[in-house]
């Protein structure tokens, strides 16, 4: 087992701890009420943070948002100057900064130039950003907090499929002058095929940038965009003058903020917002079809696992997805994001979970032997109640989170979302964001989820 991978995942997911509560609320989980209707119709009253509805309901008196930082789990655009803490930078932020100036109040998120004062200089920065003029901009970095960067970023390198898939999908290829992906990642993320034709891969592993290869790039990227708190050889890289931007592309809900913020940096804010809307629409759809229809006790309980014998808990990467799919996590938050299950361990048996979701990756559009993959995945878990009741399900972890969630929802609630739900979301995703990848792509021709029923006869 590759401990480096675990460490990377741990590092990323630890940051997501705070996110879980927000997430649970968003999905009606952890809340005893079963009357959650997440898509609240636009309320006419002056809506506070998150109110970016274009309906123009600006109240005559602006009640300023006061906040020290952005909540990455809220899907917010994490650019300082986004004074109303919503998804966009626009004239409403100028209005709010003006309201703050008038009231003499300070809000860090409104402080566009991060000089601890709110004044007309902040308005100037916000206006420059709105009009896509070059300026110093500050964003909220996953590791370093508020961090200045030259806007717009015109040249970057992307690390790992977590970053590459969304950045390519929003049209960021144009500004991508390098990337790293381990060979197995390259084999697996076939929707990035167009990327691989270009000789820009400077990987040795996905968390290390080969400095020699990096220096020999024709256009040296000014920024490295990564999904974790740090790269293995970060200090060395920074010495060479490149700026490393850390955003939580791996967290489920957090990735929405990450994509929005990264898209903004490279001047593609609108594309990024359109992309994450796909995520939000999927979650809203599942909420409508599943979560809002079930009482708390009707929801399936779920355990998630990966890397042979690692069991994910509420701080993990996958349990939040299962919850978004309408499930209920059985493992609570832990000291780390996972617990190893060793042969003979009894603790795991007491959970009696309804479903077990196992995540492992294989080629996005390749042909696999489902029974073999299933058997290998289930190796440690055949004594579990979920396995015995035919509810051990294997998912291709190369998929973007919104797709994984769709397949999970289908696995647990086929009668509510309909058979083929995952494939239909997948189809729409590829057609929308990777139209040139394979014009004949049919999600139903490939394997993204393996259920017991699919392989029963060949086990």
Identify the bridge partners of residue 142 per DSSP, sorted by sequence position.
Answer: none
CB of 144 to Ca ion, least distance (A): 19
Integer CA distances (angstroms), 254 to 125, 290, 333, in order: 26, 22, 17
CB of 166 to Ca ion, least distance (A): 21
CB of 190 to Ca ion, least distance (A): 37
Instruction: Give the angle 52-31-46 at the CA atoms, nearest 5°.
Output: 25
Q: How would DSSP label each residue in 289-357?
A: HTGGGS-GGGSPEEEEEETTTEEE-TTSSSHHHHHHTT-EESS---SSSEEE--TT--GGGGG--SEEE
Structure tokens given for 68: 């020290």
CB of 174 to Ca ion, least distance (A): 26
The residue (of 122 and 410) whose beta carbon lies closer to Ca ion is: 122
The residue (of 50 and 420) whose beta carbon lies closer to Ca ion is: 50
Report whether 303 contacts 357 (CB < 8 A).
Answer: yes
The residue (of 276 and 378) whose beta carbon lies closer to Ca ion is: 276
The residue (of 111 and 410) whose beta carbon lies closer to Ca ion is: 111
In angstroms, rounded to a whole number, what is the distance separating the alpha carbons of residues 59 and 68? 24
Half-sphere exposure of 284 (CA within 13 A, CB side): 10
Identify the bridge partners of residue 306 per DSSP, sorted by sequence position.
Answer: 310, 359
Give me the numbers of helices (H) and strands (E) for the chain, helices first please. 18, 15
Integer CA distances (angstroms), 169 to 62, 313, 437, in order: 37, 30, 11
CB of 99 to Ca ion, least distance (A): 13
The residue (of 86 and 312) whose beta carbon lies closer to Ca ion is: 86
CB of 433 to Ca ion, least distance (A): 25
The residue (of 86 and 410) whose beta carbon lies closer to Ca ion is: 86
**Which residues of this chain interact with Ca ion, rule CB under 5 A?**
82, 84, 86, 93, 111, 113, 115, 117, 122
């Amino acid at each position: 087992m590759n401990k480096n991978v675990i460490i990377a995942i741990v590092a990323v997911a630890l940051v997501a701890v705070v996110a879980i509560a927000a997430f649970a609320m968003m999905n009606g989980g952890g809340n005893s009420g079963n009357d959650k209707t997440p898509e609240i119709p636009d309320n006419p009253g002056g809506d506070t943070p998150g109110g970016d509805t274009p309906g123009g309901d600006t109240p005559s008196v602006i009640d300023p948002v006061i906040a020290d930082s952005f909540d990455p789990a809220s899907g917010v655009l994490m650019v300082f100057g986004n004074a109303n803490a919503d998804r966009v930078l626009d004239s409403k932020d100028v209005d709010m900064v003006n309201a703050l100036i008038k009231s003499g109040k300070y809000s860090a998120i409104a402080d566009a130039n991060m000089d601890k004062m709110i004044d007309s200089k902040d308005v100037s920065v916000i206006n420059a950003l709105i009009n896509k003029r070059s300026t110093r901009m500050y964003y909220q970095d996953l590791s370093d907090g508020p961090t200045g960067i030259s806007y717009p970023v015109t040249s970057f390198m992307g690390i790992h499929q977590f970053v590459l898939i969304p950045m390519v999908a929003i049209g960021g290829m144009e500004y991508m002058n390098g990337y790293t992906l381990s060979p197995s990642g390259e084999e697996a993320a076939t929707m990035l095929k167009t990327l691989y034709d270009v000789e820009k891969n400077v990987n040795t592993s996905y968390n290390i940038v080969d400095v020699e290869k990096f220096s020999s790039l024709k256009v040296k990227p000014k920024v490295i965009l990564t999904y974790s708190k740090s790269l293995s050889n970060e200090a060395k890289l920074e010495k060479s003058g490149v700026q490393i931007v850390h955003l939580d592309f791996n967290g489920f809900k957090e990735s929405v903020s990450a994509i929005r913020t990264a898209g903004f940096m490279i001047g593609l804010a609108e594309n990024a917002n359109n992309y994450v809307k796909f995520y939000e629409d999927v979650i809203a759809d599942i909420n409508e079809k599943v979560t809002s229809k079930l009482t708390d006790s009707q929801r399936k309980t779920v355990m998630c696992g990966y890397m042979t014998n690692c069991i994910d808990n509420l701080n993990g990467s996958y349990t939040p997805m299962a919850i978004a799919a309408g499930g209920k996590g059985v493992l609570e938050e832990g000291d780390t994001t996972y617990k190893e299950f060793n042969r003979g361990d009894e603790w795991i048996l007491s959970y009696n979970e309804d479903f077990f979701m196992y995540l492992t990756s294989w080629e996005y559009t390749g042909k696999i032997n489902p029974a073999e993959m299933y058997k290998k995945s289930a190796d440690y878990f055949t004594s579990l109640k979920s396995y015995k009741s035919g509810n051990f399900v294997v998912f291709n972890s190369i998929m973007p989170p919104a797709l994984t969630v769709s397949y999970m929802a289908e696995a647990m609630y086929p009668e509510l979302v309909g058979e083929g739900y995952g494939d239909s979301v997948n189809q729409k995703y590829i057609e929308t964001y990777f139209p040139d990848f394979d014009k004949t792509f049919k999600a139903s021709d490939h394997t993204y989820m393996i259920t017991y029923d699919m392989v029963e006869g060949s086990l």
